[in-house]
């Protein structure tokens, strides 16, 4: 099947729309290679192709949806029939509908890399083996749990009866390594990774060094005393923190009473040093994209400007409901579109992490968090997470600490940010990292 | 614990694909010299319905069908999958897997399959695909109405219904040919209450490995009322305490504690790589002598129940910890083969697109002897957890967290003020040793999805009311 055929397939599904019926077809196919090396040998090699189709049908304000994991012709008919059948059970919603072309131009991205597409299998295996060897060489106390090379490619064609038609393809790759460091009976763990559009962009030595450092620096860690304190978040932790905030900017969550930012538009919700941007058009972002999940051009939106809440994000549905325009933030996670941030980034400061730490008399550098999915409620704002890191004493990092939690509320933490580093890191997730200093969080330990 | 029934009829795949085709595919898988080849075929149909903001947002139908082919040569596993179930499609995937595992010179091999064994653990009374979608949607409306009637502060309700019928067939070059049909039905409700101090949420769910008859015995309105009350109660909650103190966990709500504190650490793949604090500890006291921990895939109708695992091995009940002593780990094909021991029915995968690995099924601690009310009365000051959220563990260190979504203070032996949400943190081996009271009121908990290495599988858990002498509560109050 050629590129045009994939688009033609989407168009053909949509062309079957009957009078009074709106149809959206989302077809994709792709593949992945996943290689895991252990003790110098290939532990597994996964080579896989996949296909999928999702069809949304809207009639009289009622929505039905169906999907399948194949593009086989007989199944496509079944999927369309199921989606149509499902329409009758939806409640009529005056705002239901598909995205319409809005004239916002697409900002081109280099999302496809020919060198990766042609990269030979033997070299992929060699990269995973090299990463394992580099990691083991970094420190004699370190073992490798696994060393991995992964790549994936995918192409998507999209069509609607409302006139949206879009095709895109992208590929990417990463290497990662999981480490164990032993000292007597004690074991600590770490990880390292490197991401790229092509393997030429990998920095294996850095991934190996970070994986070894993360595990070894926690050896001998103790449980700290409970207290209120200042934390410095590593860039990787900050990125995870931003992801937790993401849903609160969703216009749909605001409309449905699930955002603590509702009613706060134009108000100071964060320390004035905070400017938070969602910009999937930035080619440096791992999740950079040309189109949102409804086929509209992705765009830059300022969420918080100098501490003031500036924008709620919208899909075409929430935009119609809120009498505004889509911000190009529709996302699909297996079903009908929702609303989410696509590529979050804090406007950076200028200080290095060491300089930020030098200004902290008493605190903790948080290097890893655990349990953001279980201890954070993005609706109430309650925030509590397991953590490990290094004690900060008089502006210098000291002994490792683990098995404690840090807690506050999301609302309070935004106001309590006292410094932002200049060390932006583009991480393999939909938020960039940067060092962040937050005062007055509760540390629970012994 | 489960009643296993075998039926003489064959699975839908054998009629469609045929034993001879499967034998040729497995032979192709071994054609580059591999010692083991396996085909896993899956056809899963699912229906879900989402209700939010007073409306049925949409009903969704899904179909996932395909085959995964695994080839093992020495220590190397090759894997490929395809949605094309024609002989040509299967042979192409088998060749890709064989090439992926290539280590030596191959030759022509033959594979002979035994007779198909079919494990059906549950008798399904009402298959979801025979039930009108309108009946499924009505449940959502009823749940919404019930939740909203609880209190004027309930500002938002969402509810979800889901069912799936999953046929699997597993065949391998050792001659195994086995099939299973897994039917699951799930219902969940979440509510938001709004008060002077902001918003609070409540959540509850139920799910079983049965069909629509789930709703003959389980009441969606009661579930919804419970979720709504949880949200309303938390409006007057105070910040959770910070620091170490005794914790009492209500029956049926804390199975996730064992899932994280030791379950994952007893998975043989993690043990084999030295990534578990429980490595080398078989025969040793690893928990309070009160604790007997079982993983049981045969537990009829429970969420983690399976007839066969995803490697074709019949599910079974395995005692992991007996009176505090570690008796065994959980095993899949690869790890059992390496150790020259039997599998334990714990080789599971999310779908035909995934490699199997060691996973839990239904993991639970059996009854102790103490009256649950006495456990609370015996606790001067501490925290009572009525509902736990998710959790996660670092198996190498044993450090784990889990969230409390409904919790109360215990003051002078009585349950008093509700608490806001937070995580608890502990170290698995330490917490297992610190269980000093175990109730006689065993119950299974909510249906769960366990994530490992990017794959989710349905699991169950359960436990009687119990007390841990000290855990760290991650709240903000002094």
What residues does each domain of chain B span?
12-234, 242-474
Of A161, A46, A11, the C-alpha closest to B97 is A46
Q: What is the DSSP string of A254-290?
A: HHTT--TTTT-TTSB-S-TT--EEE-TT-TTSTT--S
Antiparallel, parallel or unpaired: β A227-233 and A362-370? parallel
Q: Please report residues of A whose CB lies closer than 8 A to that of B81.
A: 48-50
Query: A45 and B137: CB-CB below 8 Å?
Result: no
Cβ of A44 within 8 Å of Cβ of B62? The answer is: no
Distance, in Å, from the CA atom of B408 to the CA atom of B415, rounded to the nearest integer, reads 6
Contacts of B420 in chain A (CB under 8 A): 380, 382
Give how far B388 is from chain A: nearest CA, Å.
9
Contact B206, B444 (CB under 8 A): no
The ipTM of this complex is: 0.90
CB B208 within 8 A of CB B185: yes
Say whether A373 and B390 touch across the interface (CB within 8 A).
Answer: yes
Residues A272 and A381 reside in one and the same domain: yes
Decide yes or no: CATH 3.30.420.40 for domain B12-234. Answer: no
Nearest CA-CA distance, residue A129 and chain B, Å: 14
Chain B residues touching residue A41 (CB < 8 angstroms): 74-76
Using alpha carbons only, what angle is made at residue B194 by residues B192 and B198, rounded to the nearest 5 degrees?
110
Spatial CA neighbour of A346 closest among A420, A408, A289: A420
Average pLDDT over residues B106-112: 64
Q: Do B355 and A445 touch (CB under 8 A)?
A: no
Q: Do A41 and B277 touch (CB under 8 A)?
A: no
Contact call for B56 and A67, based on CB within 8 A: no
Name which of A435-439, B227-231, B393-397 the model is least confident about.
B393-397
Contacts of B77 in chain A (CB under 8 A): 43-45
User: What radius of gyration, in Å, describes the C-alpha atoms of chain A?
Assistant: 24
Residue of A37, A407, A412 for testing the chain B interface, max B β-carbons within 10 Å: A407
Whether A403 and B59 lie within 8 Å, measured CB to CB: no
Taking contacts as CB-CB distances below 8 angstroms, the residues of chain A near B78 are 44-47
If you count residue pairs, one on A and one on B, with CB atoms under 8 Å apart, how many are there?
264
At A227, list the tokens.
């207290």
B-chain residues near A44 (CB < 8 A):
76-79, 355
Q: How far apart are the CA of B408 and the nearest CA of chain A, in angstroms?
A: 16
Asked whether residue A342 falls in the same domain as residue A303, the answer is yes
User: Is there a single domain that holds both residue A164 and residue A286?
Assistant: no
Q: In terms of Cα–Cα distance, which of A298, A263, A305, A304 is closest to A283?
A: A298
Examine the domain organization and report whether A202 and A314 are in the same domain. no
* Rounded distance between C-alpha atoms, residue B438 and residue B424, angstroms: 20
Name which of A42, A79, A403 is nearest B425 (Cβ-Cβ): A403
Query: B113: which 2 tokens?
Result: 């399959």
Nearest to A180 among B74, B101, B274 (CB): B274
- How many Cα atoms are found within 13 Å in the side-chain-facing hemisphere of A403? 21
The answer on pLDDT for A279 being more than 60 is yes
Question: Are B476 and A380 within 8 A, CB to CB?
Answer: no
- Which of B58, B81, B156 is facing A256, going by the closest CB pair? B156
Kindly state the helix (H) or strand (E) to which residue B466 belongs, with its residue range. Answer: strand B466-474
User: pLDDT tens digits, residue range B317-347?
Assistant: 999 999 999 999 999 999 999 999 999 999 9
- Interstrand relation of B362-365 and B455-463 (parallel, antiparallel or unpaired): parallel
Which of B155, B198, B243 shows the shortest C-beta gap to A380?
B198
Closest CA to B136 of B50, B227, B226, B222: B50
The residue range of the domain holding A437 is 221-446
My answer on whether A234 and A185 are in the same domain is: no
Total number of domains constituting chain A: 2
Of A86, A374, A402, the CB nearest to B403: A374
Q: Which residues of B touch A27 (CB under 8 A)?
A: none
* Predicted pLDDT at B3: 36
| B266-299 residue pLDDT tens | 999 999 998 999 999 999 999 999 999 999 999 9
The pLDDT tens digits for A288-325 are: 999 999 999 999 999 999 999 999 999 999 999 999 99
Domain's final residue, options A199, A216, A233? A216
Over the stretch A7-48, which tens digit does the pLDDT of each residue have?
A: 999 999 999 999 999 999 999 999 999 999 999 999 999 988
- In this prediction, residues B439-450 reach a mean pLDDT of 94
- Count, in order, helices (H) and strands (E) of chain A: 11, 18
Same domain, A210 and A226: no
Residue B10 has pLDDT above 80, yes or no: no
CATH number for the domain that contains residue A169: 3.30.2290.10
pLDDT band at B104 (very low <50, low <70, confident <90, very high): very low
Which residues from chain B sit within 8 angstroms of residue A189, using beta carbons?
275, 394, 396-397
Residue at which a domain ends, from A186, A216, A246:
A216
| Facing residue for A70 by CB, picked from B65, B80, B403 | B65
CA-nearest of A172, A333, A49, A33 to B352 is: A49
Asked whether residue B8 carries a pLDDT value surpassing 60, the answer given is: no
The pLDDT assigned to B14 comes to: 78
**Range B32-43 average pLDDT:** 93
* Whether residue A245 is found in the same domain as residue A334: yes
Other CB atoms within 10 Å distance of the CB of residue B135 = 12
Measured CA to CA, the distance from residue B215 to residue A102 in angstroms comes to 46
Show residues of chain B in contact with A219, CB under 8 Å: none
- Partners of A256 on chain B (C-beta within 8 Å) are 52-53, 156
> Is A256 within 8 Å of B52 when comparing Cβ atoms?
yes
Do A378 and A284 sit in the same domain of this protein? yes
pLDDT tens column, B197-223: 899 999 999 999 999 999 999 999 999
Average pLDDT, chain B: 92
Check pLDDT > 80 for residue A83. yes
Mean pLDDT, to the nearest integer, of B158-175? 96
Q: A386: which 2 tokens?
A: 């397991």
Cα B246 from Cα B470, distance rounded (Å): 4
Q: Do the chains contact at A446 and B421, CB–CB below 8 Å?
A: no
A185 and A275 both lie in a single domain:
no
Could A82 and B97 be called an inter-chain contact, meaning their C-beta atoms sit closer than 8 Å?
A: no
Whether A248 has a pLDDT exceeding 70, the answer reads: yes
Record: contact A68-B62, CB cut-off 8 A = yes
Report chain A residues whose CB lies below 8 A from the CB of B421. 375, 377, 380, 382, 384
Q: Which residue carries 């989302």 as its tokens?
A: A26
User: Above 70 in pLDDT, residue B107?
Assistant: no
Q: Give the model's pLDDT for residue B11.
A: 67
Residue B6 burial (C-beta neighbours within 10 Å; 0-12, 13-18, 19+): exposed
Distance set, CA B285 to CA A153, A346, B278, B296, B326 (Å): 49, 50, 11, 22, 6
Residues 6+ apart with CB under 8 A from A412: A440
Task: Identify whether the C-beta of residue B58 lies closer than 8 Å to the C-beta of residue A90.
Answer: yes
Q: Would you give the distance in Å from CA A240 to the centre of its chain?
A: 8
User: What secondary structure letter does DSSP report for A91?
Assistant: P
**pLDDT tens digit sequence for A330-358:** 998 767 899 999 999 999 999 999 999 99
Question: Are residue A33 and residue A157 in the same domain, yes or no?
Answer: yes
Asked which of A187, A216, A245 is the last residue of a domain, the reply is A216
Beta bridge partners of A405: A386, A444
Quickly state the pLDDT bin for A51 (edges 50, 70, 90): very high
Cβ-contact B90, B84 below 8 angstroms: yes
Residues in A touching B273 (Cβ below 8 Å): 38, 145-146
pLDDT given at position A188: 94
Q: Which residue of A has its CA nearest to B95?
A: A47
Span B378-391, pLDDT tens digits: 999 999 999 988 88
Instruction: Write out chain A residues lying below 8 Å of B75, CB-based.
Output: 38, 41, 43
Whether the pLDDT of residue B116 is over 90: the answer is: no
Instruction: Give dist(CA B466, CA B470) in Å, integer.
Output: 12
pLDDT (mean) for A263-279? 97
Nearest CA in chain A to B75: A43
Residues A180 and A225 in one domain: no
- Are A290 and A180 within one domain? no
pLDDT at B253 over 70: yes
- pLDDT band of A60, cuts 50, 70, 90: very high
Nearest CA in chain A to B271: A145
Do the Cβ atoms of A380 and B399 come within 8 Å?
A: no
Which candidate from A189, A258, A405 shows the least CB-CB separation from B423? A405
Among the partner-chain residues B84, B401, B426, the one whose CB lies closest to the CB of A374 is: B401
CB A389 within 8 A of CB A353: no
CB contact under 8 A, A86 and B61: yes
Contact check, Cβ <8 Å, A66/B353:
no
Contact B275 A68 (CB under 8 A): no
Is pLDDT of B264 > 50?
yes
Predicted pLDDT of residue B455:
94
Q: How far is the alpha carbon of A272 from chain B, nearest alpha carbon, in Å?
A: 23
Q: pLDDT per residue over B69-95, tens digit each?
A: 999 998 899 999 998 899 999 999 999
Q: Element (H or E) spanning A32, and its range?
A: strand A21-38
């Amino acid at each position: 099947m050629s590129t045009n055929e994939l688009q033609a397939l989407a168009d053909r599904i949509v062309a079957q729309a009957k009078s009074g019926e709106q149809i959206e077809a989302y077809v994709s196919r792709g593949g992945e290679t996943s290689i895991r090396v252990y003790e110098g040998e290939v532990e597994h090699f996964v080579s896989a192709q996949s296909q999928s189709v999702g069809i949304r049908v809207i009639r009289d304000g009622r929505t039905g949806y169906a999907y399948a994991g194949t593009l086989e012709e007989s199944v496509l008919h079944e999927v369309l029939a199921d989606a149509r059948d499902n329409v009758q059970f939806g409640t009529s919603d005056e705002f239901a509908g598909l995205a319409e072309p809005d004239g916002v131009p697409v900002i081109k991205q280099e999302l496809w890399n020919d060198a990766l597409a042609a990269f030979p299998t033997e070299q992929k295996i060699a990269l995973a083996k090299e990463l394992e060897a580099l990691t083991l060489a970094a420190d004699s106390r370190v073992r490798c749990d696994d060393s991995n090379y992964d790549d994936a490619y995918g192409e998507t064609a999209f069509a609607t009866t409302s006139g949206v038609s879009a095709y895109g393809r992208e590929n990417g790759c990463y290497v990662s390594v999981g480490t164990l460091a032993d000292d007597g009976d004690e074991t600590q763990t770490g990880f390292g990774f490197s991401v790229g559009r092509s393997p030429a962009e990998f920095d294996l030595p850095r991934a190996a060094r970070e994986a070894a450092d993360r595990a070894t620096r926690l050896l001998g860690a103790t449980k700290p005393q409970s207290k209120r304190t200042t934390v410095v978040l590593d860039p990787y932790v900050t990125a995870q923190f931003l992801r937790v905030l993401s849903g609160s900017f969703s216009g749909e969550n605001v409309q449905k009473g699930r955002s603590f930012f509702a009613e706060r538009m134009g108000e100071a919700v964060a320390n004035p040093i905070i400017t938070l941007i969602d910009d999937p058009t930035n080619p440096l972002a791992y999740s950079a994209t040309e189109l949102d999940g409804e086929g509209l051009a992705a765009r830059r939106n300022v969420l918080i400007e100098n501490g003031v809440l500036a924008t709620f994000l919208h899909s075409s549905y929430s935009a119609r409901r809120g009498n505004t325009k889509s911000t190009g933030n529709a996302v699909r996670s297996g079903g009908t579109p929702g609303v989410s941030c696509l590529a979050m980034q804090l406007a950076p400061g200028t200080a290095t992490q060491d300089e930020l730490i030098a200004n902290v008399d008493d605190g903790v550098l948080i290097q890893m968090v655990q349990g953001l999915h279980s201890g954070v409620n993005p609706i109430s704002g309650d925030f509590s997470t397991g953590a490990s890191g290094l004690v900060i004493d008089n502006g210098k990092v000291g002994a490792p600490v683990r098995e404690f939690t840090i807690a506050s509320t999301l609302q309070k933490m935004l106001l309590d940010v006292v410094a932002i580093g200049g060390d932006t890191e583009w991480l393999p997730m939909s938020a960039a990292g940067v060092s962040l200093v937050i005062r007055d969080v509760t540390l629970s330990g012994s | 614990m489960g009643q296993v029934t075998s039926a003489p009829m064959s699975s839908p795949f054998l009629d469609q694909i045929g034993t001879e085709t499967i034998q040729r595919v497995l032979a192709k898988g071994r054609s580059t010299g591999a010692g083991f080849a396996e085909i896993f075929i899956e056809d899963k149909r699912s229906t879900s319905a989402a209700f939010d903001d007073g409306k049925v947002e949409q009903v969704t139908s899904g179909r996932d069908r395909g085959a995964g082919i695994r080839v093992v040569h020495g220590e190397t596993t090759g894997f490929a999958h395809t949605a094309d179930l024609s002989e040509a499609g299967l042979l192409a995937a088998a060749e890709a897997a064989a090439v992926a595992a290539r280590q030596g010179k191959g030759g022509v091999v033959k594979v002979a399959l035994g007779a198909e064994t079919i494990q059906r653990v549950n008798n399904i009374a009402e298959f979801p695909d025979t039930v009108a979608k309108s009946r499924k949607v009505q449940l959502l409306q009823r749940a919404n109405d019930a939740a909203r009637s609880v209190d004027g502060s309930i500002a938002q309700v969402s509810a979800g219904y889901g069912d799936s019928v999953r046929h699997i067939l597993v065949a391998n070059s050792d001659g195994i040919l086995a099939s299973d049909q897994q039917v699951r039905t799930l219902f969940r409700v979440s509510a938001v209450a709004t008060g002077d101090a902001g918003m609070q949420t409540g959540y509850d769910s139920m799910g079983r490995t049965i069909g629509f008859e789930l709703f003959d015995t389980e009441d969606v309105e009661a579930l919804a009322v419970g979720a709504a009350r949880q949200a309303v109660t938390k409006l007057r909650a105070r910040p959770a305490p910070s620091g170490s103190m005794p914790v009492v966990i209500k029956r049926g709500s804390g199975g996730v504690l064992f899932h994280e504190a030791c379950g994952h650490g007893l998975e043989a793949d993690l043990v084999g790589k030295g990534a578990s604090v429980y490595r080398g500890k078989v025969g040793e006291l690893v928990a309070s002598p009160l604790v007997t921990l079982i993983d049981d895939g045969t537990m009829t109708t429970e969420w983690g129940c399976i007839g066969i695992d995803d490697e074709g091995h019949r599910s079974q009940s395995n005692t992991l910890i007996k009176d505090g002593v570690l008796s065994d780990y959980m095993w899949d094909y690869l790890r059992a083969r390496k150790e020259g021991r039997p599998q334990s029915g714990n080789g599971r995968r999310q779908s035909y697109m995934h490699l199997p690995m060691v996973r839990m099924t239904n993991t639970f601690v059996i009854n102790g002897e103490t009256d649950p009310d006495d456990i609370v009365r015996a606790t001067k000051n501490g925290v009572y957890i009525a509902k736990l959220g998710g959790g996660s563990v670092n198996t190498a260190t044993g450090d784990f967290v889990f969230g409390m979504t409904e919790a109360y203070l215990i003051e002078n032996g009585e349950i008093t003020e509700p608490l806001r949400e937070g995580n608890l943190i502990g170290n698995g081996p330490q917490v297992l040793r610190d269980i000093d009271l175990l109730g006689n009121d065993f119950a299974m908990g909510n249906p769960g999805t366990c994530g490992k290495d990017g794959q989710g599988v349905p699991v169950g858990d359960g436990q009687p009311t119990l007390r841990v002498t000290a855990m760290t509560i991650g709240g903000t109050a002094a």
